[in-house]
Structure 1
Amino acid sequence: MGLYFKYLSILFKSQLQYRTSFWLLTFGQFFIPFSVFAGLYFMFERFGQLRGWSFYETALCFAIIHMAFSLSECFARGFDAFSSLVAGGEFDRVLVRPRSTVVQVLGSKFEFTRFGRLLQSAIILVWALYNLPIEWSIAKVITLLLMVASGVLIFTGIYMLAATLCFWTIQGMEVANIFTDGGREMAQYPLNIYQKWVTVFFTFIIPFGCVSYLPLLYILDKVHGNEILYMLMPLAGVLFLLPCILVWQLGVRHYRSTGS
């Protein structure tokens, strides 16, 4: 972790060398999700509710998934841009260093300008929580934190799987965006508004529902059953990441150098 934070510090300082560009990009990232949230707001302004969900309940779901996406874009950007390392032969250099390939690829690129997007999501989160009559407890606070953290792990796992494909395809495949951007767009709404197969897919295959919809039911006191089970649902993010790491290690073992 010391090496990881060293990477973090070096890249942050390098990006601050062009302060005007950095702050303009951060400012721009702040407004990127604005149109999406505006669409959410005007939809509820017109219809009032969405299958039993109020505006602020849906806004809370929106904020959580976008916070997780912003953090993963910032800190797992190395896997998202991994194809450039393979295509340029730079991954050979990673392999000869006596440190984990996961840590090195994670530390190869950070997008600190994504903090603009994160800030907007945090503002929406605070606004939604302020307007919701939630009876808070330590368990609910922990659940909320786990929802964001586990969402980061799921997005990171998807980036890792997409990066692993680069060992065979060289270039990154746009199909991965179906599960990153597409997953984000799906999970920003409560999953019970979709058809059953969509809910099942994003609960048991790519468990976005376990970090947004299901634990949100617990926080909003809408659970009919074992509350502890709903509270622990975000841990599915850890269970999703573990096989992604194994697949990555499998890809590393089958990697063939560029030969140049």
Structure 2
Amino acid sequence: MRLYWKYVWILFKSQMQYRASFWLLTLGQCLTPLAVFAGLYFLFERFGQIRGWSFPEVAVCFAVIHTAFAITECFARGFDLFSTMVGQGEFDRVLVRPRGTILQVLGSKFEFARAGRLLQSLLVLFFALSSLTIEWTPLKTVTLILMISCGVFIFTGIFILAATFCFWTIQGLEVVHILTDGGKEMAQYPLNIYQKWVARFFTFVIPFGCINYLPLMYILDKTEGNGILYMLAPTAGIIFLLPCLLVWNIGVRHYRSTGS
């Protein structure tokens, strides 16, 4: 971790060399999800509720998933841009260094301008939670933290899977954005508004429903049965990351240099 934070510090200093550009990018990243949130607001302004869910409740879903995505884009951007590293033959240099490939790729790129998107998402989260009448307990606080942190694990796992395909295809596959951007757009609403097959896929395959819908039911006291299971649902994000790391190691063993 000491080496990882050195990566963070070096890249942060390099991006701050052009401060005006950095702050303009940060502002742009703040305004982009704000437009999406405005669309959500006008939707509820017109219809009032969706399948019994109020605007502040859906806003929590929105804020949690966008917060997790913003953190992932900031600190796991190296996997999202991995195709460039493979195409230019730079991964050969990674392999001869005495550190793990995951750490090096993870530390190869950080997008600190995503802090604008993160700030906007946190503001929405604060607004949504303050608009709801919730009897907060230590367990509910832990659940909220798990929702965001395990969401980061899920998005990181998807980025790793997308990067692993580059070992065979060289270029990244655009279809993976169905799971990142598409999954983000889907998960900003409660899972029960979709058809059953969609809800099952995003619960048992790509467990987005386990990081916002199910634990949110626990926070809002809408659970049926054992509430602890709803509280622990976000840990599915950690479980999802494990096979992604396994697939990555398989891909590294099958890597063939591009010769660039």
Category of TM-score, reference length = shorter chain: over 0.9
Letter in 2 for 1:80: D
Q: Find the counterpart in structure 2 of residue 31 from structure 1.
A: 31
Letter in 2 for 1:176: V
Cα distance in 2 between the residues matched to 1:249 and 1:258: 19
In the alignment, structure 1 residue 195 sits paired with structure 2 residue 195: yes
Give the C-alpha shift of residue 257 in structure 1.
Answer: 1.5
**Structure 2 residues without counterparts, runs of 5 or longer:** none
Cα distance in 2 between the residues matched to 1:109 and 1:157: 16
- Moved >2 Å (runs of 4+): none
Cα distance in 1 between the residues matched to 2:251 and 2:167: 6
Letter in 1 for 2:197: W
Segment drifting more, 103-112 vs 33-42 = 33-42
In the alignment, structure 1 residue 100 sits paired with structure 2 residue 100: yes
Q: Find the counterpart in structure 1 of residue 3 from structure 2.
A: 3
Q: Find the counterpart in structure 1 of residue 239 from structure 2.
A: 239
Cα distance in 2 between the residues matched to 1:145 and 1:61: 13
Give the C-alpha shift of residue 259 in structure 1.
Answer: 3.1
**Structure 1 residues without counterparts, runs of 5 or longer:** none
Q: Find the counterpart in structure 2 of residue 160 from structure 1.
A: 160
Mapping of residues 1-260 of structure 1, within 5 Å: 1-260=1-260
* Corresponding residue SS for 1:10: helix
Q: Deviations over 1:90-114 (max 9, x none)?
A: 0000000010100000000000000
Letter in 2 for 1:140: K
Give the C-alpha shift of residue 5 in structure 1.
Answer: 0.4
Give the C-alpha shift of residue 192 in structure 1.
Answer: 0.3
Give the C-alpha shift of residue 258 in structure 1.
Answer: 2.2
Give the C-alpha shift of residue 34 in structure 1.
Answer: 1.3
Count of residue pairs brought into register by the alignment: 260
Q: What is the aligned-residue RMSD (CA, Å)?
A: 0.5
**Structure 1 length-normalised TM:** 0.99
Identity of aligned residues (%): 72
Letter in 1 for 2:249: Q
Give the C-alpha shift of residue 185 in structure 1.
Answer: 0.2
* Corresponding residue SS for 1:33: helix
**Structure 2 length-normalised TM:** 0.99
